[in-house]
Structure 1
Amino acid sequence: MQAHEIMIRQVYKVKEYDLVRDVVEKFIKYQISGLPIVNDRNEIVAYISDGDIMRFIGKHKDLVINNFYYMAVLKGDYDKFDERASKLLESNVMDIAKRKVITVAWNEEVENVAALLGEKHIKKLPVERHGVLVGIISRGDVIRNVFKEKNKDNLC
């Protein structure tokens, strides 16, 4: 079984010039916790998760992400949680996103996808073909597809 056989083809994503506000709106609307960030050619350039947002709205002294101090990104000393959160919403997604994105090829074997999800402790993997985003695979997608035929009569 290959990645393209189990991947979700309708991928929610944001563009590299979008704001964190756009990300949060999609997180809430679609009940998701991470999004690939693409350029105008639909190439994956970064990934943003709810964990990235938590790192910025939490109170830190010397947090560095993507070689920027979070205070430099937020442009000021915001002691109040609400002020930090509000300022973050107006920041560019690339200011806090992870630029080193782990992806899988569309024809990768599912057992390799499962190993990567487990070893790297990540929840979702963007799937690409010829450098372009074509899908996404979560841990749940792997479990559902691997075990549905093997044990469909024995599982709840």
Structure 2
Amino acid sequence: MQAHEIMINEVYKVKESDTVRSVIEKFIQHRISGVPVVNDKNEIIAYVSDGDIMRYIGKHKNLVIDSIFYIAVVKGDNEEFEERAQRLLNLNVMEIVAGKVFKVSWDEEIEDIAAILGKKQIKKLPVERNGVLVGIISRGDVIRHSFKSLL
């Protein structure tokens, strides 16, 4: 089974010129947790997720983890949550995306897709054909299609 047989064709996406505000609006409106970032040619150039948002708005200066109770204690971060969140909304989406974007070709085999999702510990993979975004595949899509004929 290949990517194009299990992918979702309707993909919510943002452009590289969009602000984080538009990303969060899509997250809320469509109840999603990540979107591909594309250029004017609809080529996938990044992926922004709820994890990217969390890294930005969370307190992160002088983070100490108490290994006995597994509690995060932050000292010395005086900026308020609302201030960080407000500043975040006006940033360009490309300022918060992390690292390399993982994507698959539309003819990628389901076993390879499962391996990428598992090894890279990511939830979704954008699907491209001839360099252009054509779909998206989640962990749930792989599981549903892998086991539906076996149950």
Fold in common (TM above 0.5): yes
Runs of 4+ in 1 over 3 A off after TM superposition: none
1:113 paired to 2:78? no
1:9-28 counterparts in 2 under 5 A?
Answer: 9-28=9-28
Find the counterpart in structure 1 of residue 81 from structure 2.
81
* Aligned residues between the structures: 138
Amino acid at match of 1:26: K
The two structures, once aligned, show a CA RMSD in angstroms of: 1.6
Q: CA deviation at 1:95?
A: 0.3
Q: CA deviation at 1:97?
A: 1.0
Q: Write the distance in 2 (CA, Å) between the matches of 1:16 and 1:99.
A: 15
Q: Percent identity?
A: 68
Q: Write the distance in 2 (CA, Å) between the matches of 1:41 and 1:99.
A: 21
Find the counterpart in structure 2 of residue 122 from structure 1.
122
1:5-154 counterparts in 2 under 5 A?
Answer: 5-61=5-61, 79-151=79-151
Gaps spanning 5+ residues in structure 1: where? 63-76, 152-156
- Cα deviation code 1:90-137 (max 9, x no counterpart): 110000013510111100000110111111111000001111111000
Amino acid at match of 2:87: K
Amino acid at match of 1:60: H
TM-score normalised by the chain length of structure 1: 0.84
TM-score normalised by the chain length of structure 2: 0.87
Gaps spanning 5+ residues in structure 2: where? 63-76
The 3-state SS of whatever aligns with 2:36 is strand
Q: CA deviation at 1:60?
A: 2.0
Residues 2, 108 of structure 1: 8 Å contact kept: yes
Residues 127, 133 of structure 1: 8 Å contact kept: yes
Q: Write the distance in 2 (CA, Å) between the matches of 1:48 and 1:106.
A: 20
Q: Write the distance in 1 (CA, Å) between the matches of 2:4 and 2:136.
A: 9
- Cα deviation code 1:71-99 (max 9, x no counterpart): xxxxxx97111011011001100000135
Residues 19, 90 of structure 1: 8 Å contact kept: yes
Shift of the 57–111 alpha-carbon distance from structure 1 to 2, 3 Å rule, reads same
Q: CA deviation at 1:50?
A: 0.5
Residues 47, 99 of structure 1: 8 Å contact kept: no
